[in-house]
Structure formats: structure tokens, C-alpha cells
Amino acid sequence: MVDVSPSYYTEPQEKRDQPWFANRVARLLCSSGVTPEGLLASLLDIEARLGRRREADAPRFGPRVIDIDLLVFGGEQRDGDVLTLPHPRMAGRAFVLVPLRDVAPDFSFPDGVSLHERLAALPHRVEGRRIWQ
């Protein structure tokens, strides 16, 4: 691991009647030969070992033990059934962009828009380590 953000606590999105979530972003250095799909498989394995269950009838955006998303993988772009890179919803989520700013302040999206510009365009509020959106 190269860097990890502090934990931020975020009000639930989509499904509001649940506890707040803790969010962090980690910046990793992968050894050569690691693919985005291979890294995703490893992340899903970590989730499973920590008790995450992905039943088909589980409510989307509901409470879960852990949720690890692969946001970006270098400059790779994917649009597949298993993996989309960059993560398709990250640009609209302050709970992703605020901690991402801690570990990659110079990040820009493939369309050239900077992390700071994208975050400034989102209606959100940060107080300490709490994020409202």
C-alpha cells in the first residue's frame, strides 16, 4: 500500500434508513502482471473472507459488513459486465472524492476534469470527518 485516507463517515445514499457508512480510499502499488480483473477478484475475496455476502435477493445499497470498490487502475478504462473503470459512479459521490483527495490530490478523470473541479460541482458538506450529500 502506498497511502490510505483517514476514515470519513457518510450519511447513507439511495437507501437512507440505515446507519452511516465509514469510507476510506487506499492507493496501492501493484506488482507487474497484476491486471484490473485480477485485483478485483482479490478484493472480492477479501470481502468474502470478512463476511460479505452477495445474495441475489439482498437489497442494493443496504447495510453490509464491508464493500471494497476498485475505483481506478492507473489510466486503464474498462466497460464490461464484471468491471467498469473508472468506477461509473465515483464522480458523483463526495464520500469517494473527499478521501480520494487525501491520497491523490492531483487526480484527473479521463475527460480531463480534475478531482477538485468535480468535487466543487457536487452539492455536499464536510465537517471534520463527516460528509453530507
In the chain, where the domains are located:
3-132
Say which residue, 122 or 1, is predicted with more confidence. 122
Residue 67 annotated to the active site: yes
Fold of 3-132: Alpha-Beta Plaits (3.30.70)
52 catalytic per annotation: yes
Q: Collect all residues with Cβ–Cβ distance below 8 Å to 94 and sequence separation of at least 6.
A: 10, 119, 122, 124, 126, 131, 133
Catalytic residue of the set 3, 45, 69, 130 = 69
Task: Pick the catalytic residue from 24, 27, 64, 78.
Answer: 64
Decide if pLDDT at 121 tops 90: yes
pLDDT band at 59 (very low <50, low <70, confident <90, very high): low
- Residue 83 has a pLDDT of 96
Average of per-residue pLDDT across 30-54: 92
Q: Which of 24, 27, 52, 78 is catalytic?
A: 52
Q: What is the mean pLDDT of residues 71-90?
A: 95
Sheet strands side by side (includes 130-132): 21-23, 8-10, 130-132, 125-127
